[in-house]
Structure 1
Amino acid sequence: MSPVEKHDDTIVREFTRQAEGFADPRRNSAFTAQLGRLVRFLEPELDLEDVVLEVAAGTALVSRAIAGRVRHATALDLTPAMLAEGKRAADASGVTNMTFTRGDATGLPYLDRSFTLVVTRFSMHQVRDPEAVVREMVRVARPGAAIVVADIVRPSSGAGDPDRIERLRDPSHASLRTEAEIAAMLAEAGAEVRRAERFDVVRPLDPWLAFTGTSGETSAEVRKDLEAELAGGAPTGMRPALVDGVLHFTHAHAFIQAIAG
């Protein structure tokens, strides 16, 4: 089994385990909190004739949020349990113009120039070959179609290795990319980056660790490292902070829009 296949197996295992949490609004607030902001970012691209593809869709939060404003949306993901949760939610809310498909983001099962809007959220840091994912997104986009990548990113400046902490919490984590690196991938694949939005999100540590079922021992290690940084120790790359006496960390987010050539 190749390293990529092993990593794909890890993704399926971890997200099968997490799928129930994605369906629980009491636990899934971190994933839905910035969804409205992304929909607003997408608004200039939305059209009632759009044929949309959401790549590495998970439970298809983005597709479900915009389904009423497009002709059809396809949600593709590697993990059947995530797609099943998304399909249940779509059915429960009466969404009928969606298709849920299991597939590999690095080899999309679609013809060239099939979609008028292609979007992915929270996938670049999970996959082993983000360049291949971006190439595929551009390949299946019609000329002039918008391609939108929304993800947590590595801050362009700052010390420490956030990937180490991210992998302790979630073994399926691959590597954070900078906004500039993602923009370069889009350009290399033949798309023109037109606009971007960036912002920080400060998150409480404990719910983040609990969502993935991180063990007590590993959680204690992460907490110890972040507390040590606050006390003047080595940087973790997670930019910790105390908010009302509660330990938090900081994620950098970026939304990047490009136009397919």
Structure 2
Amino acid sequence: MTVTHDDKVVREFSKQAAGFADPRLNVAFTRHLDRLVRFMEPELDPEDVVLEVAAGTALVSRAVARRVRHATALDLTPAMLAEGKREADRDGLTNLTFTHGDATDLPYVDRSFTLVVTRFSLHQVAGPEALVREMVRVSRPGAALIIADLVRPEGAAGDPDRIERLRDPSHGTALTTAQITDLVTAAGAEVKRREEFTFTRPLRPWLELSRTPDDVAAQIRQELEDELAGGPATGMRPSLVDGELHFTHSYLHLHAVVG
């Protein structure tokens, strides 16, 4: 039986689902959520009908639900949706719908939403260009398109995707900011604003969140330690912070308008 990329995504994120509610493990998602919401704020309207594509546990949808008319969170992994639904029910959110579906083949008619957002998905899916095209297709004219993702710095030494795939076999390819911009433009939207930043994060909880096997985690740790000692670049930009091994990710927030 052939294992597809989508199969890998469902397998890996089913393992990770419970960890997304743990801020100790899910520091990148939770720590920068407020920053993304602030980036989105100029585009939010009480009458918005929002779609979060590849939503995971719907962190973004849950964060903005009380400020819009309705939000829909779509994801491929049932366990992630179930975790998000539990959290939404606990918070008393009644205008948030959870839908199982494929981000590259959205089950909605054209021009259905006034704001469409995706977070940490382009580097994960097999077809990022299809995902962006679908986001544009289901957006009404003038709708805001928000993309937040891990990006590969231009000219970075080493191959960070190789390490990312060791940790999580469902990882695809981290694109550059220019590549993401080109995808959005090619799909028919106009980029209005971009925000780029880096985050140096501890290695241990990152590996714990993905439940990376011990032998693979040891290999990743060794490669980062070797780089610090003058060995080959991994692309992960390792460092020691208070004696603990860290690495650096680069992120992009992008706002576009659909024509």
TM range (shorter): over 0.9
Listed one character per residue, the Cα deviations across residues 3-45 of structure 1 (whole Å, up to 9, x for unaligned) are xx70001100111111111123343233100000000000000
Residue type at the aligned position of 1:85: E
What's the counterpart of residue 204 of structure 1?
202
> 1:33-182 maps to which residues of 2 (within 5 A)?
33-182=31-180
Distance (Å, rounded) in 2 between the aligned partners of 1:255 and 1:24: 23
Distance (Å, rounded) in 2 between the aligned partners of 1:249 and 1:54: 28
**Aligned with residue 31 of structure 1, among 26, 29, 53:** 29
What's the counterpart of residue 236 of structure 2?
238
* Displacement of 1:215: 1.4
- Tell me the secondary structure at the aligned position of residue 223 of structure 2: helix
Distance (Å, rounded) in 2 between the aligned partners of 1:162 and 1:41: 27
Greater mean alpha carbon deviation, residues 182-191 or residues 211-220: 211-220
Distance (Å, rounded) in 1 between the aligned partners of 2:5 and 2:157: 27
* Displacement of 1:231: 1.2
* Displacement of 1:69: 0.5
Residue type at the aligned position of 2:120: F
Distance (Å, rounded) in 1 between the aligned partners of 2:45 and 2:249: 31
Distance (Å, rounded) in 2 between the aligned partners of 1:202 and 1:70: 33
- Tell me the secondary structure at the aligned position of residue 143 of structure 2: strand
Report if the CA contact (8 A) 2:24-2:205 is conserved.
no
- Tell me the secondary structure at the aligned position of residue 30 of structure 1: helix
- Tell me the secondary structure at the aligned position of residue 171 of structure 1: coil
- Tell me the secondary structure at the aligned position of residue 4 of structure 2: helix
Distance (Å, rounded) in 2 between the aligned partners of 1:128 and 1:25: 28
Distance (Å, rounded) in 2 between the aligned partners of 1:251 and 1:166: 11
Q: Which runs of 5+ in 1 are unaligned?
A: none
Residue type at the aligned position of 2:50: V
Listed one character per residue, the Cα deviations across residues 29-76 of structure 1 (whole Å, up to 9, x for unaligned) are 331000000000000000000000000000000000000110000000
The answer to whether 1:17 aligns with 2:46 is no
Q: Which runs of 5+ in 2 are unaligned?
A: none
The runs of at least 4 aligned residues of structure 1 exceeding 4 Å deviation read none
Q: Report percent identity of matched pairs.
A: 68
Listed one character per residue, the Cα deviations across residues 196-251 of structure 1 (whole Å, up to 9, x for unaligned) are 00000000011111111111111111111111111111111000111111110000
Distance (Å, rounded) in 2 between the aligned partners of 1:44 and 1:243: 36
Distance (Å, rounded) in 2 between the aligned partners of 1:88 and 1:161: 37
Residue type at the aligned position of 1:51: V
Residue type at the aligned position of 2:35: R
- Tell me the secondary structure at the aligned position of residue 96 of structure 1: coil
* Displacement of 1:167: 0.3
TM-score, normalised with respect to structure 2: 0.98
Residue type at the aligned position of 2:5: H
Report if the CA contact (8 A) 2:26-2:206 is conserved.
no
Distance (Å, rounded) in 1 between the aligned partners of 2:27 and 2:197: 17
Aligned pair count reads 259
- Tell me the secondary structure at the aligned position of residue 27 of structure 1: coil
Greater mean alpha carbon deviation, residues 125-134 or residues 208-217: 208-217
Residue type at the aligned position of 2:57: T
* Displacement of 1:139: 0.4
